[in-house]
Amino acid sequence: MSITLSPELEQMRATMRKFVTKELEPLARIIDETGEVPDHVPALLAKNGYLGMRVDERYGGGGLGLAHYCLALEEFSRAHRVYTNIMGGSSGNTPLAIMRLGSDAQRDKYLAGLANGTLRAAFALTEPGSGSDSQSMKTKATRVDGSWVIDGRKHYINGGDVADFIMVMAVTDSEKRGRGGVTAFIVERGTPGFTVTRSDTTMGSHAIRLAELTFENCRVDDTAVVGEVGEGFKIAMQSLTEGRLSVASSCIGISDRLLEMSTHYALQRTTFGKPLAERQAIQWMLADSAMELAAARALVYATIEDVEKGVDTGSRPSMCKLYCSEMVGRIADRAVQVHGGMGIVQGFPVERFYRDTRHYRIGEGSSEIQRILISRDLFKKAKASS
């Protein structure tokens, strides 16, 4: 495993670091205080090529690979999680599904708008009774008079309250369900029967909202189907590998920023006549954080490289997501401790990062689910070798 990036990626990191520091970091406190993203931010990201990074160039995207995208998430997360959230809306589950499996008409209609920031997308899988157990979803789509009628409810949908269109997973064959009985549909804002019934904020930034979506006799035609009828669950599961690596990369970025802040603070802050940097208790906290961060980078970078090569990575993406999401929580906690009173004062970045990092152990599959998947992979390999 290596944590050395190619010269191209290192140059890209340096460019992004300057952009994030100059343009985005000054807005982070405003976003956290107001709970709103300034209107010009999506256009700013698009202008600099950070929206639609993975969308094909013919639609105005960057046409870049997973490594480029994950590195961008790592850098942007150093300022505020909301920036990675915006980027995911233009290069995440829904855009990639449309680009890879959508019709020509769907690509022409949606991808350019996602890349230039004039359209926003969301992905709707989770329901009140089916979070990790997504195969038990109750939202259904029924064939009626040549159209599809969607009925059901989704919740905790990231960005669902502001999205211009949403890729909705619905059961089209209750017998098959996850084995060919779930279909992906594009439902546009304003479609009769589709309403945003609630928008929730969390303990993290209020600029990131989780929506409840209700579908009552919501009628769409065949042009709304992404891929083939019955492929929806496959689409959802295929997105998880890259989704988990995206989360892991964001956690690395936050951890790196917190360790950097803590190290500088320890050098500057003096207690009882000595800087904190000379206190063994502080040294050990920083050393543990540096060690965990280095291990995380090695695992994640190597896994991303193998995914791009087409290597079967097994449960390694789950390991990346699990380790990094729990690592960033530990590093955030140590950062608060190193900063003392300043670490718990609202408006200071450490306090904000501390609140926001708790999300990562739940989103994109909880820590418990990742452990189940890893253990299943171990048993599978053990049986195959016996």
Any idea which residues carry the catalytic annotation? 364
Q: What angle, 0 to 180 degrees and rounded to 10, lies between the N-to-C axes of helices 93-101 and 81-91?
A: 20
Other Cβ atoms closer than 10 A to 52:
29
Partners of 124 in the β-ladder: 168
- Name, in order, each residue with C-beta under 8 angstroms of 262's C-beta and a sequence gap of 6 or more: 285, 286, 289, 334, 335, 338, 339
Partners of 150 in the β-ladder: 141, 218
- Name, in order, each residue with C-beta under 8 angstroms of 385's C-beta and a sequence gap of 6 or more: none
Partners of 270 in the β-ladder: 275
Q: For tokens 């708008």, what's the residue?
A: 113
Do 77 and 250 meet the contact criterion of CB atoms below 8 Å apart? yes
Do 252 and 297 meet the contact criterion of CB atoms below 8 Å apart? yes
Give how far the C-alpha of residue 158 lies from the chain's centroid of Cα atoms, to the nearest Å. 9
39 exposure class (CB count in 10 Å sphere: 0-12, 13-18, 19+): exposed
